[in-house]
């Protein structure tokens, strides 16, 4: 898995879907989360590469985030990109006010939910991603996020607890 | 209703078709207390119930093939339909050119669907005939020049069938049309990377020198190409990340490029964050070489870098001010041994 992920590292410093394809927010998140979950992140990427990756992600922000250079901002990237930054420990460097403002503008004022951009049609995916995106930027009373699994930190703690119990049971 | 539902011929219920009387439709299992149920049209529901029935029987017939076409048009994202369709195409020994024409239509209707592109890839792999693909993908780019699936397919075709000729010019054409098309710049890197791989493959023994000269020629060509696009708008991110990537590919140092350093100095007046970032990276290379811990020269370069970070944070790239301030601090700690 690690070998394939590395092969997908683009000259831009972020990850593509397949080797030599374009670096993209979605694949970058998947790559980084996978590496983190398997404990391989700091083994597979050296300091310079992590640095370049962080910069690429941060450069996706205008107000909200886009998934590739010169592409429009889309609320779901407030998860894919900001989530990646969270895994990299770079959340403090995000411009949270601007991100929150963009996300809130993408709500449908009549039926609710979030769309990819303001004045567009809301859908479940963007509603979910925008909500998590708001949580990552510390909005209101939204719970802290475990970015690697896209669940709440509380839920992840519960998973850890379950694993601990299972290990005990197995005598590991 | 998906776009292509309206493209299908007028609907006669399967129940009412004589040739389908022998089939008992299989309803979708929704569970005991389904929530958030999709409001399928009658046509959709029935088509897929008949699909599930023939799929379960593994029936390999013309009527099953036609059924997969209807099902695919209704929901091209149902990958079981496509897997089954491929099986049917093989069993019935169907004309693959006809299939490619069908695919051209459905891809145009659903250009961001994964399954239709995968199906096209499988058909081309099976027929071993890529002759339509470059034109097909080029046509798709006229609607959306950044379609990720389309670029990925084009790269696969070129790699798989060795169709590298003319691709560099193709990228130039697209970049000329829209210099902000990052996908086109990525494709150019894809081609140049291949050029370098070829050089390194053919270099052997004494040909090592020729290899380096040819690399230098390519680097110069790409610098000139990027420079031309940068001159039109230095605020465009794409050529900057591209040329840095090419330098890295050639294992060359940014700060040693007289052309690039002169270009940056000249473009500072544009107040482009990419110019400043390039200079920061170039100077960081220098710092890396000088070694850490406060010689006069290190301090002088470091001062320039910090100054650039400040300009970015305070004026040219304020959305990322926290980052540029952080970077300045990081570099100062690294190269001056300042307290964390």
In 3D space, the residue among A147, A127, A135, A16 whose CA is nearest the CA of residue A75 turns out to be A127
CA–CA distance, B45 with B39 (Å, rounded to integer): 9
Pick from B152, B242, B249: CB nearest A21? B152
pTM (2 decimals)? 0.94
Q: Inform me whether the C-beta atom of residue A10 falls under 8 Å from chain B C-beta atoms.
A: yes
Over the stretch A57-83, which tens digit does the pLDDT of each residue have? 999 999 999 999 999 999 999 999 999
Report DSSP letters for B212-230, one per residue: HHHHHHHHHHHHHHHHHHH
Pick from A21, A71, A92: CB nearest B151? A21
pLDDT at position B295: 81
User: Exposed, middle or buried by CB within 10 Å (0-12, 13-18, 19+), for B164?
Assistant: middle
pLDDT band at A140 (very low <50, low <70, confident <90, very high): confident
Q: Inform me whether the C-beta atom of residue B182 falls under 8 Å from chain A C-beta atoms.
A: yes
3-state class (DSSP) for residue B300: helix
CA–CA distance, B43 with B11 (Å, rounded to integer): 7
Task: Give percent above pLDDT 90 in chain A.
Answer: 97
pLDDT at position A171: 78
Token representation of residue B132 = 């339509």
pLDDT tens string, chain B, 340 residues long: the values are 455 777 777 889 999 999 999 999 999 998 889 988 899 999 999 999 999 999 999 999 999 999 999 999 999 999 999 999 999 999 999 999 999 999 999 999 999 999 999 999 999 999 999 999 999 999 999 999 999 999 999 999 999 999 999 999 999 999 999 999 999 999 999 999 999 999 988 876 555 666 889 999 999 999 999 999 999 999 999 999 999 999 999 999 999 999 999 999 999 999 999 999 999 999 999 998 876 666 888 899 999 999 999 999 999 999 999 999 999 999 999 988 665 5
Strand partners, A114: A107
Q: Which residues of B99-129 are buried (b: 16+ CB within 10 A; e: fewer)?
A: bbebbeebbeebbebebbbbbbbbbbeeeee
Beta-carbon-side half-sphere exposure of residue B246 (alpha carbons within 13 Å): 29
Residue A66 vs residues A24, A56, A57, B163, B269: alpha-carbon distances, Å: 9, 11, 9, 32, 27
A146-153 own/partner pairs: CB under 8 Å, 24+ apart? A147/A33, A147/A83, A147/A84, A147/A86, A147/A87, A148/A33, A148/A36, A148/A37, A148/A87, A149/A33, A149/A37, A150/A79, A150/A83
In 3D space, the residue among B121, B127, B124 whose CA is nearest the CA of residue B93 turns out to be B127
pLDDT at position B266: 96
Task: Answer yes or no: are the C-beta atoms of A35 and A5 closer than 8 Å.
Answer: yes
Residues in chain A, total: 172
- For residue A18, which residues of chain B lie inside 8 Å, CB to CB? 152, 155
3-state class (DSSP) for residue B54: helix
Q: Enumerate residues 26 to 85 of chain A having a beta carbon within 8 A of any beta carbon in chain B.
A: 54-55, 58-59, 61-63, 68-71
Token representation of residue A148 = 């690697």
List residues of B with catalytic annotation: 112
Give the 3-state secondary structure percentages of chain A, helix then strand then coil, rounded to 5: 50, 5, 40
pLDDT at position B36: 85
CA–CA distance, A9 with B134 (Å, rounded to integer): 25
Over the stretch A105-137, which tens digit does the pLDDT of each residue have? 999 999 999 999 999 999 999 999 999 999 999
In 3D space, the residue among B188, B158, B191 whose CA is nearest the CA of residue B173 turns out to be B188
The stretch A146-161 carries a mean pLDDT of 96
User: Is the C-alpha dihedral spanning A101, A106, A108, A114 positive or negative?
Assistant: negative
Test A21 with B319 for CB contact under 8 angstroms: no
CB atoms within 10 A of CB B219: 20
pLDDT at position B204: 60
State yes or no: ipTM above 0.90. Answer: yes
pLDDT at position B1: 46
pLDDT at position B209: 61
């Amino acid at each position: 898995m690690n070998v394939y992920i590395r092969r997908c590292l683009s000259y831009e410093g972020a990850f593509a879907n397949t080797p030599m394809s374009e670096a993209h927010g979605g694949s970058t998140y998947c790559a980084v989360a996978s590496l983190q979950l398997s404990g391989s992140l700091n083994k597979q990427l050296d300091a310079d590469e992590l640095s370049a990756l962080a910069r690429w992600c941060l450069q996706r922000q205008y107000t909200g985030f886009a998934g590739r250079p010169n592409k429009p901002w889309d609320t779901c990237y407030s998860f894919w990109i900001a989530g990646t930054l969270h895994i990299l420990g770079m959340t403090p460097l995000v411009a949270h006010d601007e991100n929150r403002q963009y996300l809130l503008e993408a709500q449908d004022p009549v039926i609710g939910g979030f769309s990819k951009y303001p004045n567009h049609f809301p859908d479940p995916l963007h509603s979910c991603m925008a909500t998590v995106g708001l949580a990552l930027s510390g909005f209101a009373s939204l719970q802290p996020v475990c970015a690697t699994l896209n669940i709440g930190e509380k839920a992840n703690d519960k998973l850890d607890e379950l694993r601990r119990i299972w290990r005990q049971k197995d005598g590991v | 209703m998906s776009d292509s539902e309206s493209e299908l011929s007028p609907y006669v219920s399967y129940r009412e078709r004589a040739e389908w009387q022998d089939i008992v439709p299989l309803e979708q299992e929704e569970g005991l207390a389904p929530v958030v149920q999709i409001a399928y049209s009658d046509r959709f529901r029935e088509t897929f119930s008949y699909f599930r029935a023939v799929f379960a029987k593994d029936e390999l017939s013309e009527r099953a093939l036609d059924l997969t076409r209807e099902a695919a048009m209704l929901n091209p994202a149902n990958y079981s339909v496509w897997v089954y369709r491929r099986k049917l195409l093989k069993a019935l020994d169907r004309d693959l050119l006809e299939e490619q024409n069908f695919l051209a239509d459905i891809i145009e209707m659903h250009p961001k669907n994964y399954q239709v592109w995968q199906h096209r890839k499988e058909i081309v792999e099976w027929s071993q005939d890529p002759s339509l693909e470059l034109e097909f993908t080029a046509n798709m780019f006229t609607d959306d020049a950044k379609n990720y699936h389309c670029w990925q397919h084009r790269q696969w075709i070129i790699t798989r069938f060795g169709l590298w000729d003319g691709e560099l010019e193709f990228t130039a054409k697209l970049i000329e049309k829209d210099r902000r098309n990052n996908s086109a710049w990525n494709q150019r890197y894809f081609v140049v990377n291949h050029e370098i791989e070829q050089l390194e493959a053919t270099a052997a023994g004494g040909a090592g020198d020729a290899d380096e000269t040819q690399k230098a020629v390519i680097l110069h060509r790409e610098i000139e190409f990027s420079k031309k696009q940068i001159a039109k708008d230095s605020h465009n991110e794409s050529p900057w990340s591209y040329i840095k990537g090419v330098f890295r590919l050639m294992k060359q140092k940014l700060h040693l490029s007289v052309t690039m350093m002169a270009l940056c100095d000249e473009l500072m007046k544009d107040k482009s964050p990419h110019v400043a970032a390039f200079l920061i990276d170039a100077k960081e290379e220098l710092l890396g070489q000088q070694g850490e811990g406060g010689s006069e020269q290190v301090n002088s370069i470091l001062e320039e870098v910090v100054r650039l970070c400040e300009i970015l944070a305070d004026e040219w790239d304020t959305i990322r001010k926290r980052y540029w301030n952080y970077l300045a601090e990081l570099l100062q700690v690294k190269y001056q041994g300042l307290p964390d």
